[in-house]
Structure 1
Amino acid sequence: MNKILVSWYAYNNDFMIEQRGNQKRNMGFVNEEGPTFTVHKYFWTSSKFEKHIILNSNLSKEDKGKINLLKTELNKNFKDHSIEIKDVAITDPINVSEIFEKLQSLLAELTDNEIEIFISPGTPAMQTAWYLLGTHFKKNITLFQIRAKEFTKEKVKPEKIVVSLDSSVLPTNIVVAQKTIEKDKTSKDILLTESLEPIYERAKMIARTNDVGCLILGENGTGKENLAQFIHNNSNRSDKPFIAVNCAAFSDDLLRSELFGHEKGSFTGADSKKIGVFEAANGGTVFLDEIGDISPKMQVSLLRVLQSKKVQPVGSTKEIDINVRVLAATNKDIETMCEEDKFRTDLFYRLAVTELKLPALRERGKKEVIALINHFNKLLSNRFQKNDLLKISKEALERLSAYGYKGNVRELENMFIHFYTFCDKEINVPDLPKRVSESKSITLTLADNEKQHVLKVFNLNKGNILATSKSLDVHRDTLKRKLQEYGVRESKE
C-alpha cells in the first residue's frame, strides 16, 4: 500500500507576497517557507510519503504557470520526491457541495492507498470538504495541519498536527455543511419546471431501486449529467462515489484503461498501476456520457462487463468483481443506430432497462425559458457575489425568450456568465451575443410542437395515412385535416 500526500496548492502562501499599503501582490517567486515547501522539508521522510498530489482548482494559464513553477522548484530541492499536479476545476471556491463531489471522485480512485491530506492550503470551503470526506471515507485517510515553528514550544521547527475526525469534536461549520449536503439532494442549479417535473419524478422511482440502469436521451446541454447525479443522490448509493466519464473524449485504448484500469508496464507510458472507474466507484454509480460514440470493439467489452459484473484491468489475468449502478447518456438516435448495425442491440437493451428523455429548451415553451432566465440571473448573482440582480431591458428579454438555444440550458447559463462578466447593472440588446440579437424567433409553441411531432410520425410511416393515424391514435379524418393545415397535400392510405 502506497502512502500518498494530497493537498491544494496555496495561491498566495506558496509564493512571495509584496505588501504595498493595503495592497498585496503575488511576486511570482516560490516561498521556501510556504506550506507546500514546509511539508516536503520537515515531514516527507518521517511520514514516509511516496508521492505528493498537488491539486489545482483554477485552470487559467496564469495559475497553471505558477503551479508548474512550484513543482519545478520542489523537484530542484527534493530530487527524490515524487510530485504530481492534478487539475480539479472548481467553478465556485466557496461552494462546499461542488468541492465535496469533485474531491469524492478523486479519493475514490486512491482508496487502495494510505492517504494523508494536508488541509491547511485552500479556501475555508475546501477545508470543510476535506473534513467531510475524512468522516465519509474514514478508512486509510488521515487529515493534518502544520503549526508554524514560532508557535511551538521549542520554536525550532514546525509541528505536524493530526486532525481528529471524531464527530463530537468537529467544528460547528462542518456539522452544518454535512447536514446541508445531505439535505440538498437536488442540485440548486436545477430548476424543475413543468416539463421536467414528470421526468424527475420517474428518476426518483429509478433511484429507489438498488441497481436498475437508465439510458438518458437528449441533446447536448439539456442536463443529462445533472439527471444522472440526481438519481445517484437520491439512491441508497449516495454515500458512495459518483464518477462520470465522457466516452467521446478517449480513444479505444485510453477508454479501456480509464474504465477497467491497467497494470504497471502493461503498455508504453503505464508507469504505475491505475484503478479503473468501475473499481473506483464500487458501491456507487458510474455515468457513461456520450455512450453512442464508442466503437464496436468497445461495445463488446462493455457488454461483457455489464453481463458478468466483473472487470479485467489491461495487462492483468485476474477479474475483479464490481458493484455499481450504470447510467448512460447520448445525444444520438441510438435505436436508429441499432437498426443500421452501428450500435449493438444487446448492449442497448442492457443500458436501456429504463429510459428518460430530456426535452430541448426550444421545445419547452416561452414561459419556461423566461423562468430559466430569472433562475440563472439569481444563480449567477450569488455565484459572482453581487448585491443586486442584473436588470433586463424589455427588448433584451424579448430577444432572449425568443431565441432557439441550440446549446439548450447550458448555452443559456453560459450566456449569464457572460452578462455577469461584462454588464454592470442592466442587460440591453447591445450586450446580447450577435446570434441572439439578430436571430428570428424560433421558440416553439404547443401548436408548433404538435405539427413537428405529427410530421415526424407521418414521415416515419412513409406517408401512410392509416399507419400514421394508428401511431398517433387519432381518426384518419382528423389526421387529414391536420396535414392540409400543414400544407401536406399528397398522402397515401
Structure 2
Amino acid sequence: MSDASVSQSVHRNPEDLSLLFQISQILDQSIDIKQVINPVLRAVADNMSILRGTITLLDRNSGEIFTEAALGLSQSQQERGRYKLGEGITGKVVQTGQPLVIPRISEDPRFLNRTGARKHDPEQISFICVPIKIGNETIGAFSVDLQYTSETALEKQVRMLSIVSSLIAQAVKIRHAILEERNQLLEENSRLQQELKEKYQPSNLIGKSKVMQDVYEMIAQVSKSDATVLIRGESGTGKELIAQAIHYNSLRNGKPLIKVNCAALPDNIIESELFGHEKGAFTGAISTRKGRFESAQGGTIFLDEIGDLAPPIQVKLLRVLQEREFERVGGNETIRANVRVIAATNRNLEQLLEEGTFREDLYYRLNVFPIHIPPLRERRSDILLLADHFIEKYASSNMKIVRRISTPAIELLANYHWPGNVRELENVIERAVLLSVDEVLHPHHLPPSLQSAESSNTNLHSTLEEALENLEKDLILDSLKTTKGNMARAARILGITERIMGLRVKKYGIDSRQFRG
C-alpha cells in the first residue's frame, strides 16, 4: 500500500490521528530514545488493545537483534528475546525490511515464541511485526500480540503500526544526527583546547607536569587582558620567562617589553631609572633622560624582585598603578603611562606587610592576577625534559655531541632537591656537557653537591674495593645500554674480553636482555 493510501485511511479515523499526535508529542519530549520508547508502547497499547508490544533493534557490530523495550514481558522474557538475522518472524522482518502478519500464532511454525510469554495465551492470538527503517536500512522491528478479530482489522492495524514505526525511525534518525553533531563538537572542543594548551606553552617554557599545565592555562587566561600580574616563586624558577610568555601572547606584543631588576639598582638612582629625570635634576644629570616606564609606552614593564623596592619608590609606583601617570625626577610635566605592569618576587610579601616594609595598598594593586611558579622539586617529572633541553642547547653552542644521560646520572638528577631550581639545573647540565668526552653524561660529570654519599654509593664507610665495584658496574650498565644488550660490542667498548664481560655481568646480576629493543 502506498504512503498516500495509508495516510488517507488514517485521516478517516479521528482516533488514529489522536494516537499519532500523542506519539509525536512523546517522541519530542527527550533526545534519549530510551526514555520515550516505553511511553510510545503504552500509548499504542491503550489505543489498539494489544496484549504485548516489543521494540527490537539490530546491533550492527554483532548482527544480533535484541529487545530494547517491551510491554507485557518480564525482564527475563525480554532478555530471552534475541534473534539472528533471518531467525523467526522478527529476524525475517529485520532481514527483508517487509512486514509480516501471523493471524494465528498457534498454527504457524515460523513463530518461535523465544521469550516464552505465550504459553498460556488463547489460541486466537495474532502477531504483527513491522520493520523500523531509516531510508533503505532496517534498524529494528516493532511487533505486537493482539486478539484475532478479522483479516480486515489486521490490515488496518498493520497500517497503523507501520506509521508508528516510521515515526520512531524518524526520531531515531534525528537523534543520531544530533548525537553525531554533539560528538563532533565535543571532539572539536577537545582538539581546540589541546591546541590552546600547546599554543600557550611558549618554547622557552619546558614542562608537561600538571602544575606547569596549570601555569600555562593561567598565562592563556591573562595574556589578552591588561591586568596587572604578580608572579611569585623561588629564585631560579623562571619568573622572567613567564613574564615574556604573557607579553608575547598579549595584544601589546608589538611594543617593547622593558625589564627592571629592582634589587640590582641602588635606592638613590632607582627612581630616575623608572621614571626618568630632567636636565639638572641632580648632580650628574647633564641631560634629560627617559625612564623605563616611558620607554615601555604601549608595551609591558617587568619589575623583577618587587619586594626589594624602598618605601619612597613604592609610593610613586602606587600612583602609576592607580592614576596611570608620573613625572620625571626634577620635572613638572605629567606623563601618561600606557604600560602594563608585570611584577615578580621571591620574597614573602605577606611577611613584609606585617613587618611594615611593604605597603598594603601597593600589595593589593600588584596582586590582581597572581601566578605561582612551582619549584623544581614539585615538578620532578619535568627534570629530564629540562635536562634534555639544556643538553641540546649547550652541546650545540659548544659544538659537542651528547647523545644521552647515563642511568646513574639520571637517578642523581631525579633525587636531588634542587634548591636553585631550573637555573641550578641549567648550570649543572652546562658543566656536564663541557666535561663529557664519550657523548654520555656520567655521574662524575655532575658537581659534588649532587653526588651525595647515599645516592652515588660513595659513602665514607665504603672500602676502595666497594667503590671500584660500583664504578665498574655503572660502566658495564652504560655500555650495555649503548649496545642495546649486545655483550660482545659492550666488551669491545670497555676494552675487555667477552669472557671477562660475561663474568662481570654474572657477578653483578645484570640481565643484558633488558636493554634489547
TM-score, normalised to structure 1, is 0.50
Specify which structure has the higher proportion of helix.
Answer: 2
Q: Which has the larger radius of gyration?
A: 2
TM-score, normalised to structure 2, is 0.47
**Larger relative contact order (CA 8 Å, sep ≥ 6):** 1
